[in-house]
Amino acid sequence: MYRKNIVLLLIVIPLVLMLGAGCSRHKARPIEISQGEYYEDEEYQKLSKKDREAHCIALAEGLEDLKVRSEEAETELTENKEGIKNFTKELRDAERQYSTLSTQITELTRQKEELEALPKSWVLQYGECLWIVAGYEEIYGDPLKWPRLWRGNKMLVEDPDWVLAGWELKVPRTWPKRHMVVQDEWLAKIAGYWEVYDNYKEWPLLFEANKDRIQDPDLIFPEQELVVPR
């Protein structure tokens, strides 16, 4: 009997000491609700009343934070949708512009190849004159453009009404960036040349570009070299 009491005392006393020291209380593990952490049911049941209340407050605050973030995300989504809509429109406009430019490039490339294939010179045959040569399709396709041939061959052809078979004429193809003044020329006349501006009213362009050598637009001299702005 005495031994049994001793054994009971040995078992009960440590338990009493443990209870008195508070070792039976459950210590909640720290969690971060904002990071998506939460207590399992078993853990929650072991929480003290105070810890449960604190947990509920934290959950409420976390819920409110999620609502705010959700509203912000919805606003951002709406803005992004509008941005995507505008970007899609810009992309389609760019695609149409690219298609148009691509077509133009193809056409200009074709024209360039055709121009490069055209003759750059022409040997006069018997019975030909500047008028006839200018009218050939491979030259200018327009007999009225014969002065272009004359102005491009002034060193060879002094009188446009007098040419000889066997003469080799240059066929100007580019738009001139300079013009050498000859006798009986004035700015309006030069501006009216087909290869210059084809419009005599554009003479102020010549005057403005050559103010360093022309003081009076009504007074220019032979052998003056004028800049032809493009």
Of 63, 79, 110, the residue that ends a domain is 110
Least confident interval from 4-13, 66-75, 165-174: 4-13
CA distances from residue 142 to 18, 25, 157, 169 in whole angstroms, order as listed:
119, 110, 20, 17
**Segments forming the whole domain that contains residue 188:** 118-227
CATH number at residue 181: 3.10.350.10
Q: Using one digit for the tens of pLDDT, what is the confidence trace for 172-181?
A: 988 999 999 9
Contacts of 127 (CB under 8 A, 6+ apart): 165
- Say if residue 132 is in the same domain as residue 59: no
Over the chain, what is the mean pLDDT?
85
Q: How many angstroms separate the first and last alpha carbons of the chain?
A: 127
Q: Into how many domains does the chain fold? A: 2
pLDDT value for 19 = 38
pLDDT value for 15 = 39
- Say if residue 148 is in the same domain as residue 219: yes
Q: Using one digit for the tens of pLDDT, what is the confidence trace for 29-58?
A: 777 776 777 777 777 787 778 887 887 888
Confidence of residue 25 (pLDDT cuts 50, 70, 90): low
- Say if residue 213 is in the same domain as residue 142: yes
- Say if residue 75 is in the same domain as residue 150: no
- Say if residue 151 is in the same domain as residue 105: no
Of 59, 90, 110, the residue that ends a domain is 110
Cα pseudo-dihedral 185, 188, 192, 193, rounded to 10: 30
Q: What is the 3-state secondary structure (H, E, C) of the chain?
A: CHHHHHHHHHHHHHHHHHHHHCCCCCCCCCCCHHHCCCCCHHHHHHCCHHHHHHHHHHHHHHHHHHHHHHHHHHHHHHHHHHHHHHHHHHHHHHHHHHHHHHHHHHHHHHHHHHHHHCCCEEECCCCCCHHHHHHCCCCCCCHHHHHHHHHHCCCCCCCCCCCCCCCEEECCCCCCCEEECCCCCCHHHHHCCCCCCCCHHHHHHHHHHCCCCCCCCCCCCCCCEEECCC
- Say if residue 123 is in the same domain as residue 222: yes
- Say if residue 128 is in the same domain as residue 211: yes
| 221 touches 197 (CB < 8 A) | no
Beta bridge partners of 179: 226
Q: Report whether pLDDT(20) > 90.
A: no
Of 110, 137, 166, the residue that ends a domain is 110
- Say if residue 105 is in the same domain as residue 7: yes
- Say if residue 135 is in the same domain as residue 200: yes
- Say if residue 138 is in the same domain as residue 102: no
pLDDT value for 26 = 56
- Say if residue 95 is in the same domain as residue 175: no
pLDDT value for 150 = 95
- Say if residue 106 is in the same domain as residue 135: no
